[in-house]
Structure 1
Amino acid sequence: MVGIATLIATVIGIPLGVFLATSKRGELLAMPITSRIVGAIVNALRAIPFIILAVYIFPITRWVVGSAIGTAAAIVPLTIAAIPFIARLVETHIREVDQGLVEAARAFGANPFQIIWKVLLPESLPGIVLVLTLAIISLIGFSAMVGAIGGGGLGDVALRWGYAQNKIDVMNVIVVLLIVVNQLVQMFGEYISRRINKRVIIRNTPKPDSLS
């Protein structure tokens, strides 16, 4: 559930975040009206608590996968919840890129799409990796929550075999598993981000002969 939802949300959320970061008035892809509409939709989706969202979109889930319950059905609300989360955080990291680099690229004749692909995305990539790490961790928590509405996964095991049968040991195992998985995901994401960040720093550090 988490893997597929993360993949789909990444494919949609990163371009959406780039659009939100570059589409306001006077920016690279200036579409202020469209930007406001898309931004309002993203904010609306983020404002709905996940468990309510999952129940609210039952008709959409049933139309997409043919059922409103089960592991496949849980992917739909997980994806819809992750897309605005990723988009807003990607937007934030792209806006933090030094505008001097953007102006330099413009001076060399780069068009908006070249600036996005060659400047904004590479410079913000370490932050985007951390965004995806946070998204995965959030989706792991959400995937446990969908167990309450028949979504399967660890949440379903915890409720059906732990809570319903008053088996504290089962609940303890599920909690430990969730903590361990989250820690591993966080450590791996931070490691990848550091490696990418070092490459970005090395690439942007001027060579000694260029300073003379």
Structure 2
Amino acid sequence: MRAFLEDYFSNVIQIRSEIWDSIWETLYMVGWTALIAGVLGIILGVTLVVTEQGGILENEKLYSFLEKLVNGFRSVPFIIMLALIAPFTRFIIGTSIGTTAAIVPLVVGTVPFYSRQVQNALLEVDAGVIEAAEAMGSSPLEIIFRVYLKEGLPSLIRVSSVTIINLIGITTMAGAIGAGGLGDLAISRGYNRNQMDVTLVATAAILVIVLISQLIGDYLVKKTSH
């Protein structure tokens, strides 16, 4: 077994600690981005639902503005987003290079996608339940927390799982700005130095993270469905 690894994964053996560091950096970027973008995405998604035509807080001007904002940011490819908001990233973090700096464009790129997913998930909530809550005198906040978020929880978990998987994918593109992580390892070490074994291991690690995320999401959906 050792001979096999030395023959086909010699480069991987030499940089084992670097691979573990890259896995940690990927999890670090995904974790913080998921937390920040998750909160902002839910707030924005809920706002879109309640302010649209027929919503409990209907506001045509606000809805139109937010929808255009979401559509505009969603239409920008992430790799271009990295370059466009580099000055903003430097203003917030102090640098536009590195793992922590990558969180800024990752959040900016994830929030519009996730907010739209949240909006679609909450629109699946039975309108009759919302009308019943309004008839009982529930306030808009009570409807949001007790009806939309509670009844739409399985769908929210489902779209959150999809978003996290998408997020894991775009962290690999963040390697283009030296963000670290498995994507950076696969590109700078594997591809640029023609070390195919490093690229294969980095790719396999990303696939494992995606698979685990999917399994956790599926489990939570089953536990919350009723």
Q: Structure 2 length normalisation: TM-score?
A: 0.85
Q: Does 1:130 align with 2:155?
A: no
Distance 1:112 1:185 in 2: 33
Distance 2:191 2:53 in 1: 53
Structure 2 spans left out of the alignment, 5+ residues? 1-28
Secondary structure of the residue that 2:65 maps to in structure 1? helix
Distance 2:98 2:32 in 1: 14
Runs in 1 of length 4+ with deviation above 6 angstroms?
A: none
Correspondence for 1:68:
96
Distance 2:30 2:82 in 1: 15
Correspondence for 2:111:
83
Distance 1:158 1:173 in 2: 8
Q: CA deviation at 1:89?
A: 0.6
Q: CA deviation at 1:24?
A: 1.6
Q: CA deviation at 1:26?
A: 3.0
Percent same amino acid at aligned positions?
Answer: 42
Alignment of 1:1-212 (within 5 A): 1-197=29-225, 201=226
Q: Tell me: higher relative CO, structure 1 or 2? Use CA pairs within 8 A at least 6 residues apart.
A: 2
Distance 1:115 1:124 in 2: 12
Q: Which amino acid is the alignment partner of residue 44 of structure 1?
A: G
Q: CA deviation at 1:115?
A: 1.0
Q: Structure 1 length normalisation: TM-score?
A: 0.91
Q: CA deviation at 1:25?
A: 2.9
CA-based RMSD of the aligned residues comes to 0.9
Structure 1 spans left out of the alignment, 5+ residues? 202-212
Number of aligned positions between the proteins = 198
